[in-house]
Structure 1
Amino acid sequence: MVSDDDLFARLRSYEGCPAASGTGRYPVNTAMISHWCEVMGDPDPDATPDPAHEGPTAVAPPAMLQAWIMPGPTTAPGAGPQRSAAYGELLALLDAAGCTAVVATDCEQEYLRPLHPGDVITFDSVIEQISPRKTTSLGTGHFVTTRTEIRANGEPAATHRFRILKYRPHHAADASRRPRPVVDRDNAGFWEGVAENRLLLQRCTACDRLRFPWGPGCPDCGSDRWETAEASGAGTVHSYVVVHHPPHPAFAPPYAVGLVELAEGVRMISTVTGAGPAELRIGMPVELEFARAYGPGDAQQLPFFRARHQRDSRQDAPCREDAPCRQDAP
Structure 2
Amino acid sequence: MRGGLEAAAKGELGASDELGARLKAYEGRSASVAGKGKDLVNEPMIRHWCEAMGDTDPAYTGPDAIAPPTMLQAWTMGGLSGHTGRAGAHDELFDLLDEAGCTSVVATDCEQEYLRPLRLGDEVGFDTVIESVSDRKTTKLGTGYFVTTRTDVRVGQDLVGTHRFRILKYAPARQKQEPKGTRARRPRPVVNRDNAGFWEGVERHQLLIQRCTDCGTFRHPWLPGCNACGGLDWDTVEASGEGTVYSYVVMHHPPFPAFDPPYAVGLIELAEGVRIVSNVVGVPYDKVRIGLPVRLEFRRYDDEPQEGDEGGPLVLPVFRVLEDQVGEVG
Q: Which category describes the TM-score, using the shorter chain as reference length?
A: 0.3 to 0.5
TM-score by length of 1: 0.47
| TM score, norm. by length of structure 2 | 0.47
